[in-house]
Every structure is written in structure tokens, then in C-alpha cells.
Amino acid sequence: MRRCHRSFICILAVLGLIDGVVSAQALASPAFEVASVRPNASSAPANSRFPLGPGDAYTPGTLFSATNQPLIVYIRFAFKLGQGDLFRLPAWVYDDRFNIEARAQGNPTKDQMRLMMRSLLADRFKLTTHTERQAKPLFDLVVAKTGKPGPQLRAHVSDRSCAAASASETGTAAPAAAPSEPSSRSGLQLPPIDCGSMGLIPASSPTRGRIGGRSVTIGRIAEFLTNNAYAGVDRPVRDRTGLVGTFDFSLEWVLPPDRGEPTSSEPADGGPTFPEALQKQLGLKLKSAKGPVDVLVVDHVEHPTEN
């Protein structure tokens, strides 16, 4: 373990960019008190003390601990990114895996942990970045029929575990969020999912994909939908539904065929395609559009320095 140095590299997270240049008046970003970064070449599954996605699910405490994760996961965590593209990244950022254990002072929120991770990445991986606003083709997520959300999209009903998750994010004293019960209070059937989280869940068939979430905004759902290989959605998705609050949802569809696999003689799954499932199950649809998108560009990154 070694003491991490504070860094000015990631102050764009606090003050943003001014004409592409970070303000000289910015203060140093928060930093972990101590941190250890070690390569991991094992075949053990990736693990982390709390979810490293852009969601709010969080286990409060001073410790950040994650094992066997590629650097891209830590970058996405630090900048609160979904699954969209990042630019100018070498292949090892996706392939090489690392254990990171770090300790902070006080009782940081998840977003404060993100800022500390930015400082760690700048210090240990020499990561420097900037953001660019680019006009790109995208999809607008809209309500298919006004006032008619689908049967698998339900307004979340607040419960004790979700109140705990909200309190932990604001730094107030509360127990950690608990997994949902098989049937959530919204009435939607879901496997155990942490409050504020979404992701892949077991589908009814190997030929199908399924995602679900508990107490997440439509904006979070929109960001998650960008996945060309899994859902066939090859552009950023932005929320234009006008739906507010948080929701429980479940979405299942037939996976697109893998072009690298030989054609099967067995009958094709007659279930819905992704666009069909999105409209029938969630009452939403995607409309082609074009608009400005903020893109994180990595200017420089190196293999980590020794502990």
C-alpha cells in the first residue's frame, strides 16, 4: 500500500472544461488516503465491494475494493459512464485486469468515491482526458402511446431498502440497500436486484436476452440500451419520454443471430425482436435522431506504476 498523491488532472469533473482547457483556479480533486494497484492474471471472476456501474447502488464505508477488473471498468466507474464508446483507448485497457484496494477518510458517497478514483487513475495510470461535444446519429427513447406505459414498466413503490440506498448516497446514516424480493412492491416479478441497479437477469430461454432494474430512472434505462451485440442498438440513446420518477422494469427479447455461428436446423425462437419487446413490454420505442453528444476522449494512459 502507498499513499496516493493529489492530482489536478481530473478537476474537469468538478469545474468542467473552459474552451477545452481546465480552469487554473480549480482545487485538487479528492483522493484516497492509501491505495494499492496490482495486476491480476488469474481466471477468477471479477468482483467488487459495490456495483461499479453508473447507478446509485452503494455500500457505504471507507473502503474501495475490486478484483480482476479491466481498467475500462474503473474508468467507466470514475466518470459515471454507461456502455457507450470511449475514444483512443489501447487494447490492453480492455484486456489487462487489476485489483484495486483503496481507503478514504470520513464517510464518502459513491460520487465522491468516483472523484477519488479519477485522482487514482491520473496518479497511477497517468490517465488524462477531455470531453468533446460531437453531433452524432442517435435514438430518442419515446413513449409509444401517450400515457400508456407497458405492463413490464412500473413506477417504483418506495420501501425501506430503497430509502436506505438513497440515504447512503447523500451521506446520511442508514443501513446498506438490500436486494429486492422475487416480487417487488410495484407488483413486477423480478429476481433479486439491488435498489438503484439494473443489468442482465436470467431469461426464459438461452436464445433470449433479458434485462431488469429496480428503482431506476428512464434516463438510466436509455443509457443502458446502447448495445449493438446484445440488443442491436448501435447508437447512443437519450430519454425523451417525459416520464419522471424511478421505475421497476423487466425486458426480454430474442437475441440477434450470431453471424459467426452456423445456421441451426432447429426451429427459430418465435419471440419478439428487441424493438417489438421494447414497445409491447415497456410501452416505449426508439426514433432515429441526430444531436450533440458529450464524448469522453482519453488523451493518455499508461500501465500502472509499481506499488
DSSP three-state, residue 116: helix
The overall average pLDDT reported for the chain is: 79
Confidence of residue 183 (pLDDT cuts 50, 70, 90): very low
Does residue 273 contact residue 252 with C-beta atoms inside 8 Å? Answer: no
> Which of these ranges, 46-60, 66-80, 130-144, 152-166, has the smallest mean pLDDT?
152-166
Q: What is the pLDDT of residue 257?
A: 72
The predicted-structure confidence for 257-283, as pLDDT tens digits, reads as follows 764 444 454 546 788 999 999 999 999
Confidence of residue 172 (pLDDT cuts 50, 70, 90): very low
Confidence of residue 162 (pLDDT cuts 50, 70, 90): low
Confidence of residue 222 (pLDDT cuts 50, 70, 90): very high
Confidence of residue 138 (pLDDT cuts 50, 70, 90): very high
3-state helix, strand, coil in the chain (%, to 5): 20, 30, 50
Q: What is the pLDDT of residue 166?
A: 38
| Exposed / middle / buried, residue 142 (Cβ in 10 Å: 0-12, 13-18, 19+) | middle
Residue 110: what are its φ and ψ, rounded to 5°? -65, -40
Cα separation of 193 and 196, whole Å? 8
Q: What is the pLDDT of residue 10?
A: 33
What are the residues whose beta carbons fall under 8 Å from the beta carbon of 3, sequence distance 6 or more? 33, 34
Q: What is the pLDDT of residue 4?
A: 38
Average pLDDT in the 141-165 region?
77
Q: Is it the case that residue 149 has pLDDT exceeding 90?
A: no
> Which of these ranges, 63-72, 124-133, 142-151, 223-232, has the smallest mean pLDDT?
223-232
Average pLDDT in the 290-298 region?
87
Q: What is the pTM of this model?
A: 0.60
DSSP string of 283-301, one letter each residue? SEEEEEEEEEEEEEEEEE-
Cα separation of 154 and 71, whole Å? 35
Average pLDDT in the 102-109 region?
94
Q: Is it the case that residue 175 has pLDDT exceeding 50?
A: no
Whole-number percent of the chain with pLDDT over 70: 75
Average pLDDT in the 181-209 region?
78
Q: What is the pLDDT of residue 110?
A: 93
Q: What are the residue ranges spanned by the domains of the chain?
A: 2-132+296-300, 138-292
